[in-house]
Amino acid sequence: MEHKNVASNKMNILISALRLMTHKIRLLYAITIAFCILFLFVPFSIAPSLCSKKNAKACPLMWYADKRNGKKKICELLPSHEGPLPVILMALGRSGSSITWDTISRLTGDANVAYEVTGGNHNKSQQFFDSINPNVGPYWASERLCFIQKRVIEQTSHWGIAGFQWKPYQYAMDHQYALGALEVISKHRDPSIRVIHLTRNEIDRMLSNQRHKGHIHSKEVPHHCKAGDDECVQKHKNRSNNIILHTGQKLINHLDNAFAREEDVNLKLARAGVKYLHVSYDELFNSNTTAEWIKIFQFLKRGPVANLTIDMIRKTFSMVSTSSRKHREMITNYNEVKETLNGTRYLHLLH
């Protein structure tokens, strides 16, 4: 009887131990699942392996630890001789940023895309900067460039540049993490991070915005037309006429603000010590010379310079122009607009 009681007690202890072990395993499993969810969905807290081709556009940044604390960055940019050159393209919407980046990437290596990382409009831009994790802070731009550099190497065999678009809205340039990012960028060496500031004739930009007004992300008026897509080009032409612009002081104020914003961006880049180049869409795409393109390739120290012809450049265009060069054909109140601009520094914007 005594032996039976001892055996029974041992069995009960064993069962209790197994139950406790099962409970701990379940608890550990639950903690693991919770950690994985947190790891995946908290901003700026995912692993580099998750920054794949599929989600590269929206890939958050990794947590950053300052080297002064004895730790290393999660991602290190490769030297210029080992990887694509990190470049940031600053341009407002409807300034030709997509075709400009596509052309530069094709003439320095294989084509790749520069996504609008900081947001494509004012609201999204504000949301982006307000959501930056303080642990990343001013390092967000250099870290993002690093992950993009790795992605471009994976996707292409002949790389030249790798980077993203930064829309220079007022908020996107005044935010503490924007100004801080410029300081970090200016101090980066081998590779040095370069910024191209692209601007366009403001009246042309206004006309392009009017053409797409109410048709954002719509197939009715696509953002761009691929070379050879005559149907797309016709859709744009149908929307390019009978556009009415503001006149009088309202137009002057708009142009004043646009030029002030442009100068402010250049000033912030210069003050931070950033290696930047200011280029004009009109000189790139509405000129019969290669001077503006050569400036870019000399600045990047990559791409063709000697014997470069305008035909060579235009053969690489994957998109085509969709607007008329004559404002008189597009602007219904052209005479009123011209009258407003007579005697001002903006008259040359009409063509």
Residue 135 CB neighbours (<10 A): 14
Name the domain count of the chain: 1
The reply to whether 8 falls in a domain is no
Is the confidence at residue 47, as pLDDT, over 50? no
What average pLDDT does the chain have?
A: 82
In terms of phi and psi (left: phi > 0; alpha: psi -120 to 50; beta: otherwise), the region of 128 is alpha
- Return the pLDDT at 191: 96
- Return the pLDDT at 2: 45
Tell me the mean pLDDT in the region 71-77. Answer: 72
Question: Could you give the CA distance from residue 202 to residue 253 in angstroms, rounded to a whole number?
Answer: 12
Is the confidence at residue 50, as pLDDT, over 50? no
- Return the pLDDT at 17: 55
Q: What is the CATH number of the domain that holds 93?
A: 3.40.50
Tell me the mean pLDDT in the region 111-117. Answer: 97
Give the type of residue at 29: Y
DSSP string, 284-324: HHS-SS-HHHHHHHHHHT-S--TT--HHHHHTT-SB---S-
Identify which of 87, 108, 104 has the alpha carbon closest to the alpha carbon of residue 162: 87
Is the confidence at residue 33, as pLDDT, over 70? no
The reply to whether 94 falls in a domain is yes
Strand order in the sheet with 161-166: 161-166, 85-90, 194-199, 275-280
**DSSP bridge partners of 166:** 90
In terms of phi and psi (left: phi > 0; alpha: psi -120 to 50; beta: otherwise), the region of 279 is beta
Per-residue pLDDT reduced to its tens digit, 249-265:
999 999 999 999 999 99
Is the confidence at residue 226, as pLDDT, over 60? yes
For the ranges 147-156, 187-196, 202-211, 215-224, the lowest mean pLDDT is seen at 215-224
- Return the pLDDT at 327: 93
* Token digits of residue 228: 């050879």
Cβ–Cβ < 8 Å for 74, 62: yes
Tell me the mean pLDDT in the region 257-286. Answer: 97
The reply to whether 45 falls in a domain is no
* Token digits of residue 322: 């969709």
Of residues 43 and 114, the one with the higher pLDDT is 114
Of residues 324 and 303, the one with the higher pLDDT is 303
Tell me the mean pLDDT in the region 56-75. Answer: 46
Tell me the mean pLDDT in the region 310-332. Answer: 85
- Return the pLDDT at 131: 97
Is the confidence at residue 46, as pLDDT, over 80? no
The shares of helix, strand and coil residues in the chain, as percent rounded to the nearest 5, are 50, 10, 40
Is the confidence at residue 177, as pLDDT, over 90? yes
Tell me the mean pLDDT in the region 282-310. Answer: 96
- Return the pLDDT at 59: 42
In terms of phi and psi (left: phi > 0; alpha: psi -120 to 50; beta: otherwise), the region of 209 is alpha
Which residues form the domain of 316? Answer: 67-199+246-320
**Is the alpha carbon torsion for 78, 79, 80, 85 positive or negative?**
positive
What confidence category does residue 54 fall into, taking pLDDT thresholds of 50, 70 and 90? very low
The reply to whether 139 falls in a domain is yes
- Pairing state between β 275-280 and 85-90: unpaired
What confidence category does residue 234 fall into, taking pLDDT thresholds of 50, 70 and 90? low
Tell me the mean pLDDT in the region 84-90. Answer: 98
Tell me the mean pLDDT in the region 195-219. Answer: 81
The reply to whether 341 falls in a domain is no
Q: What percent of the chain has pLDDT over 70?
A: 70
The reply to whether 102 falls in a domain is yes
- Return the pLDDT at 225: 77
Of residues 139 and 51, the one with the higher pLDDT is 139
Is the confidence at residue 238, as pLDDT, over 60? yes
The reply to whether 153 falls in a domain is yes
- Return the pLDDT at 290: 97
Is the confidence at residue 239, as pLDDT, over 90? no
- CA of 147: how far to CAs of 197, 268, 318, in Å? 22, 25, 26
The reply to whether 14 falls in a domain is no
